[in-house]
Amino acid sequence: MGVLRVAAVQLRVSRDRASNLRRAAELIDAAAADGAQFVALPECFTGKYGVDLFHGHREALAANADAEAASGSAVLAAAAKRHGVVATGGVIEEHAGKLYNTMPVYGPDGALVAAYRKVHLSRVLGITSESDVLEVGDEATAFESGGVRVGMACCFDLRFPEWLRRHGPRGAAPADVVCAPSAFLDVTGRDHWDLLLRRTALDGQAFVVGPNVAYDAEDAVPLHGRSAVVSPWGDVLAQCGADADDLAIADVSTDRVAEVRAKLPLADWAE
């Protein structure tokens, strides 16, 4: 049996990059102090979300914890090594002259073990059009942490269940946990966020970790907050409020995933 304590970190992102990085590190510290072994920050946690702002957030991914600490990925790597945990979160990656919405994953030694580039770029209600400046990712990403398989997704990916089946029991990158760092809009999140997290859990019969950027009424386009961890049965195990730095922490286990999949063997019935 694999058991893992997971933390969805909610961050109220400001225009002060240094403050964002400092508070991100502090929240990882707090999650680790509460026993979390896998810690996930939101999408684009280094600066305010916005297509016109992404160029200012760009960074090369840190390879390990020895990287310069002025980037989001370096903060993740250093915190992972400091606490012996797995850490991830969303940054704007610059690679070969192109920008990607990327979720790097750092292992307990601070080394980069995986990186997921967002496949479904947001294009919502004329508010955001990520594809104007970002490149599309091209593959599903999964890795193991504490005997638990974790599959990565990001925000708008939650609206595409066919693609998320890649993390299902018969998929190309099967997972016990789907982790989806997000900067989910409040205008849609009020109606859709909780439903999408729970549907993803039910469809994949997997735990879902959904860290989201906190609500800020002063934003031109406020985000939704309410970061959460959901069980394979669709139960909300832990959830943050809307507008503050916070942690949603819960224990996940492969036994619970197996139990749910045995009760409802959907992968078998779908054939």
* Residues designated as active site: 43, 118, 155
**Phi, psi (5° rounding) for residue 237?**
-85, -30
The separation between CA 86 and the C-alpha centre of its own chain, rounded to angstroms, equals 12
Distance separating alpha carbons of residues 91 and 213, to the nearest angstrom: 13
DSSP class of residue 261? H
Identify the H or E element spanning 17.
helix 17-33
| Three-class SS state of 50 | coil
| Three-class SS state of 82 | helix
| Three-class SS state of 209 | strand
